[in-house]
């Protein structure tokens, strides 16, 4: 909880949770963001917002939402970081952008967590610059929830695109951070952690993966997670593992391949049901199971990549998210803030005894 | 066509195509392989087989299949290479295995193409040892057909696991070989070739990908394929590209992630239709569109990774393939042999003027 939450007139007895929201930079515009905020406020009455963006556009959109009344503060930002801006450009020239303001509010402890639909690379660069990395973390990671056959319905996968490479010590830290996320997010006592590879045999795969396998095996203290060794692509949506650790290049390819496959299958199914008059009739009779199925694989239901390894919580929403997707990203940020996840993660990484510096290629155990 | 096809009593006027089949080493045993052969022979009356494996097990299984009568020859092999054998072990100790015999029959020109369900790494190692790489190819690749929104219903992706790394010159050769496969397989005049990356902007991705991007752009002569630049994971099942080029590590992860996602969605759909009595009734009415849908995404319909870059055609079937899957791999091998694909590919790679040696890290244009 932020000590400055009182600034935006709390009305509940429960402590407020303040979410800093970047209203600009998403594909669907700030209207979708404001709709998402209103949806999230229905779920969590004690949520408050600091909204960053163009005051002139935002004020009328926010005023229309009765259930947001008294629950937000607008911080005007003149600039918007676009999807085409390079991260280095955003770091040098982004000080007046809505994205910068969104992260800055977490840095200043005005807000408990940040949410943005904008450019991923720019958001990570600004987050690293302003929030700084946790001691012992050289490469922060982006963790997402992947629909799976597990009881929770999801697995955690990281990194899905913070950095295109990861060395063995980075992969070890991803294992620790991912396990911490799964413990807090799913209430699992000992999440099962696997390292993504092209085979499950120890002689297979890239050299840094073999090194990481040894490092994680050695570091693993039998305590609060279980290391299951190498896993393969088909294990990602399975119930054999809770946390999948990989580098950001491979993770991003896997994530987008999964999304593309699910989209193609969804299209093929709709086409099958539209093919003839008889099959349209069939669809009418099958409407309940088809809706149940669509809900289960709906990617908007869980939306949000969490930046792990920073002093503060930042959630990256899908750029193309609609109100439902944005509400999911905001409630994810709320849940993490309510659980003090950022502080717990910092303690976990520090207590792993992996050293207080953040140099690359240095293996400490 | 092999000049030795006459050895197994041709009965048709059309030239025979001889497929060398490894009957051992698949997860479902040699019964499934013989069933797959019988299915394929229904499609192609002028197919002939040289079958490698345990004579005592194979003879009665083959004798039961009336439509295979007079269309096969069994070559006894005492040994079987298992899924756990290392490729290096298979190369040193595999001379009496069914897999070795299967490849050897292509080398000896007794057969026009080879099919095996066995250990991928061992099959590639034995194929490289016996068939040798094409001049100019340092790393052969495994190409698969991926269900997509294209008119053909498929894209070509390579490499999906021949080698865990690929440098820029390898990726260029994958582009040429993949385009050749798409031209022959789908009848496309100018297949669109894309390079798999984590973003479509030129400044993104790994250094070897930037180098490959420049190399393919420079080499591209505007002739028989179109280079569309970088593509992302979600483009793999799309209709924006025909050939997706990547290294074998990334390709294997993407392939298995796609398979795992499709399986999970299939399970979720079956569960949705079984959830209540009413939804079971719905399934009855929706049986035609559901079957149409299942057929469209059935992975057994196109089964087979083709080894590209060798002097000869080798098709790797999925290890867990059943009779339908094995028949698909055999008909794929038949189609490639009937088109003289191996010879066409050799000519294409040679005519690209990429040099006659096969050294790594040497860029020639």
- Reported ipTM: 0.85
Q: How far is B104 from chain A (nearest CA, A)?
A: 27
Q: Which of B247, B286, B291 best probes binding to A when mutated, by most A CB atoms within 10 angstroms?
A: B286
B141 in Cβ contact with B177 (< 8 Å): yes
A158 in Cβ contact with A251 (< 8 Å): yes
Residues 6+ apart with CB under 8 A from B187: none
Find tokens 């163009």 and name the residue: A54
Distance between CA B127 and CA B104 in Å, rounded? Answer: 8
Give the nearest chain B residue to A239 (CA atoms): B264
Give the percent of chain A with pLDDT over 90: 63
Phi, psi torsion values for A236, nearest 5 degrees: -55, -50
Q: What is the pLDDT of residue A13?
A: 59
Q: How many CB pairs under 8 A join A and B?
A: 186
Helix or strand (DSSP H, E) at B120: helix B120-131
Domain boundaries, chain B: 1-135+309-355, 138-299
Tell which A residues from 178 to 197 touch B, by Cβ distance under 8 Å.
196
Q: What CATH number does domain A1-134+309-365 carry, 2.40.170.20, 3.40.50.10950, 3.50.50.60, 3.30.70.360?
A: 3.40.50.10950
CATH code of the region B138-299:
3.40.718.10
B112 in Cβ contact with B50 (< 8 Å): no
Q: Which of A203, A255, A286 best probes binding to B when mutated, by most B CB atoms within 10 angstroms?
A: A286
Instruction: Say whether B249 and A206 touch across the interface (CB within 8 A).
Output: yes
Please classify residue A343 by burial: count the beta carbons closer than 10 Å to its beta carbon, then call 0-12 exposed, 13-18 middle and 19+ buried: exposed
Quick one: tokens of B359? 């050294």
Quick one: tokens of A83? 């999807």
Nearest CB to B272 within list A196, A232, A289: A289
Instruction: Say whether A260 and B205 touch across the interface (CB within 8 A).
Output: no
A149 contacts in B (CB within 8 Å)? 264, 267
Work out the mean pLDDT of chain A and round it to a whole number. 87
**Chain-centre distance of CA B186, in angstroms?**
14
Quick one: tokens of B141? 């690749």
B78 Cβ under 8 Å from any chain A Cβ: no
A285 contacts in B (CB within 8 Å)? 281-282, 284-286
Secondary structure letter of residue A360 according to DSSP: T
Please classify residue B350 by burial: count the beta carbons closer than 10 Å to its beta carbon, then call 0-12 exposed, 13-18 middle and 19+ buried: middle
- β-strand partners of A147: A154
- β-strand partners of B316: B116, B305
Q: Which of B95, B336, B306, B198 is nearest to A247 (CA)?
A: B198
Average pLDDT over residues A150-166: 91
Q: Which of B82, B234, B319 best probes binding to A when mutated, by most A CB atoms within 10 angstroms?
A: B234
Check residues A345 and A327 and name the one with the higher pLDDT. A327
Q: Could you read off the pLDDT tens digit of each residue along chain B, which spans 365 residues? A: 333 333 444 444 568 999 999 999 889 999 999 999 999 999 999 999 999 999 999 999 999 999 999 999 999 999 999 988 999 999 999 999 999 999 999 999 999 999 999 999 999 999 999 999 999 899 999 999 988 888 888 899 999 989 999 999 999 999 999 999 999 888 898 999 999 999 877 767 888 899 999 999 988 766 788 999 999 999 999 999 999 999 999 999 999 998 888 888 888 777 777 777 777 777 777 777 777 766 666 666 678 899 999 999 999 998 889 999 999 999 999 999 999 998 888 888 887 765 434 444 433 33
Instruction: Judge whether residue A2 has pLDDT over 50.
Output: no
Sequence-ordered alpha helix ranges (H) in A82-219: 87-93, 98-107, 120-131, 168-186, 207-219
Tell which B residues from 28 to 57 touch A, by Cβ distance under 8 Å.
none
Instruction: Say whether A275 and B292 touch across the interface (CB within 8 A).
Output: yes
Tell which B residues from 334 to 363 touch A, by Cβ distance under 8 Å.
none
Q: Which of A345, A276, A267 is nearest to A306 (CA)?
A: A345
Question: Residue B310: how many CB atoms within 10 A of its CB?
Answer: 24
User: For A196, left (φ over 0), alpha (ψ -120 to 50), or beta?
Assistant: beta
Tell which A residues from 252 to 281 touch B, by Cβ distance under 8 Å.
252-265, 267-269, 272-273, 275-276, 278-279, 281
pLDDT tier at A363 (50, 70, 90 boundaries)? very low
Q: What is the pLDDT of residue B153?
A: 85
B18 in Cβ contact with B6 (< 8 Å): no
Q: What is the pLDDT of residue B242?
A: 96
Please classify residue A207 by burial: count the beta carbons closer than 10 Å to its beta carbon, then call 0-12 exposed, 13-18 middle and 19+ buried: exposed
| pTM for the predicted model, two decimal places | 0.87
Q: What is the pLDDT of residues A19-60, one digit of tens each?
A: 999 999 889 999 999 999 999 999 999 999 999 999 999 999
For residue B43, cis peptide bond before it (omega within 30 degrees of 0): no
Residues 6+ apart with CB under 8 A from A259: A299, B233, B234
Quick one: tokens of B301? 């319909």
Q: What is the pLDDT of residues A115-140, one digit of tens each?
A: 999 999 999 999 999 999 999 899 99
Average pLDDT over residues A234-253: 95
Sequence-ordered alpha helix ranges (H) in B64-119: 87-93, 98-107
Helix, strand, or coil here: A202?
coil
Q: How far is A69 from chain B (nearest CA, A)?
A: 40
Instruction: Say whether A264 and B237 touch across the interface (CB within 8 A).
Output: yes
B260 contacts in A (CB within 8 Å)? 233-238, 258
Helix, strand, or coil here: B310?
strand
Distance between CA A85 and CA B171 in Å, rounded? Answer: 28
Is there a common fold for B1-135+309-355 and B138-299?
no
Instruction: Say whether A279 and B268 touch across the interface (CB within 8 A).
Output: no
Average pLDDT over residues A104-124: 96
Quick one: tokens of B318? 């999925």
Buried b (16+ CB within 10 A) or exposed e, B202-216: eebbeebbbbbbebb
Average pLDDT over residues A158-169: 92
Q: Which of A92, A126, A128, A131 is nearest to A108 (CA)?
A: A131
Instruction: Say whether B198 and A161 touch across the interface (CB within 8 A).
Output: yes
Instruction: Say whether B250 and A252 touch across the interface (CB within 8 A).
Output: no
Instruction: Say whether A250 and B253 touch across the interface (CB within 8 A).
Output: yes
Q: How far is A253 from chain B (nearest CA, A)?
A: 5
Give the nearest chain B residue to A279 (CA atoms): B289
Instruction: Say whether B257 and A234 touch across the interface (CB within 8 A).
Output: yes
Distance between CA B178 and CA B186 in Å, rounded? Answer: 12
Instruction: Judge whether residue A108 has pLDDT over 60.
Output: yes
Q: How far is B163 from chain A (nearest CA, A)?
A: 9
Instruction: Say whether B292 and A272 touch across the interface (CB within 8 A).
Output: yes
Q: Which CATH architecture has domain A138-301?
A: 3-Layer(aba) Sandwich (3.40)
A319 contacts in B (CB within 8 Å)? none
Phi, psi torsion values for A269, nearest 5 degrees: -70, -45
Tell which A residues from 117 to 176 touch B, by Cβ distance under 8 Å.
147-149, 161, 164-165
Q: How far is A297 from chain B (nearest CA, A)?
A: 7
Quick one: tokens of B45? 């009356």
Residues 6+ apart with CB under 8 A from A6: none
Instruction: Say whether A285 and B281 touch across the interface (CB within 8 A).
Output: yes
Tell which A residues from 287 to 326 touch B, by Cβ distance under 8 Å.
287-290, 292-293, 296-297
B281 in Cβ contact with A257 (< 8 Å): no
Q: Which CATH architecture has domain B1-135+309-355?
A: 3-Layer(aba) Sandwich (3.40)
Q: What is the pLDDT of residues A304-340, one digit of tens each?
A: 899 999 999 999 998 889 999 999 999 999 999 999 9
Distance between CA B149 and CA B238 in Å, rounded? Answer: 5
Residues 6+ apart with CB under 8 A from B45: B12
Helix or strand (DSSP H, E) at A274: helix A248-274
pLDDT tier at A269 (50, 70, 90 boundaries)? confident
């Amino acid at each position: 909880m932020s000590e400055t939450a009182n600034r935006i007139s709390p009305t509940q007895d429960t402590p407020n949770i303040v979410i800093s929201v970047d209203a600009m930079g998403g594909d669907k515009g700030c209207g979708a963001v404001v709709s998402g905020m209103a949806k999230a406020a229905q779920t969590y009455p004690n949520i408050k917002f600091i909204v960053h963006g163009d005051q002139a556009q935002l004020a009328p959109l926010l005023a229309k939402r009765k259930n947001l009344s008294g629950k937000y503060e607008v911080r005007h930002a003149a600039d918007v970081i676009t999807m085409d801006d390079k991260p280095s450009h955003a770091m040098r020239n982004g000080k007046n952008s809505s994205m910068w303001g969104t992260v800055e509010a977490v840095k200043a402890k005005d807000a408990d967590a940040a949410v943005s639909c904008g450019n991923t690379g720019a958001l990570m660069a600004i987050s690293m610059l302003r929030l700084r990395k946790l001691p012992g973390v050289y490469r922060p990671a982006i963790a997402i929830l992947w629909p799976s056959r597990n009881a929770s319905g999801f697995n955690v996968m990281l990194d899905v695109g913070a950095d295109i490479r990861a060395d063995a010590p980075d992969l070890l830290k991803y294992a620790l951070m991912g396990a911490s996320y799964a413990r807090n997010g799913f209430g699992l006592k000992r999440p099962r952690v696997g390292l993504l590879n092209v085979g499950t045999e120890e002689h297979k795969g890239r050299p840094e993966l073999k090194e990481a396998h040894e490092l994680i095996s050695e570091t693993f203290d039998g305590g609060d997670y279980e290391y299951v060794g190498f896993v393969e692509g088909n294990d990602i949506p399975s119930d054999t593992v809770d946390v999948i650790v990989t580098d950001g290049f491979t993770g991003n390819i896997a994530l987008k391949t999964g999304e593309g496959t699910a989209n193609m299958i969804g299209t093929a199914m709709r086409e099958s049901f539209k093919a003839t008059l008889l099959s349209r009739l069939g669809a009418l009779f099958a409407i309940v199971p088809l809706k149940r199925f669509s809900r289960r694989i709906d990617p908007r239901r869980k939306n949000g990549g969490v930046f792990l390894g920073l002093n503060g919580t930042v959630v990256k929403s899908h750029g193309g998210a609609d109100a439902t997707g944005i509400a999911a990203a905001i409630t994810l940020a709320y849940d993490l803030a309510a659980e003090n996840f950022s502080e717990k993660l910092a303690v976990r990484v520090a207590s792993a005894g992996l050293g207080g510096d953040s140099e690359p290629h240095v293996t400490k155990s």
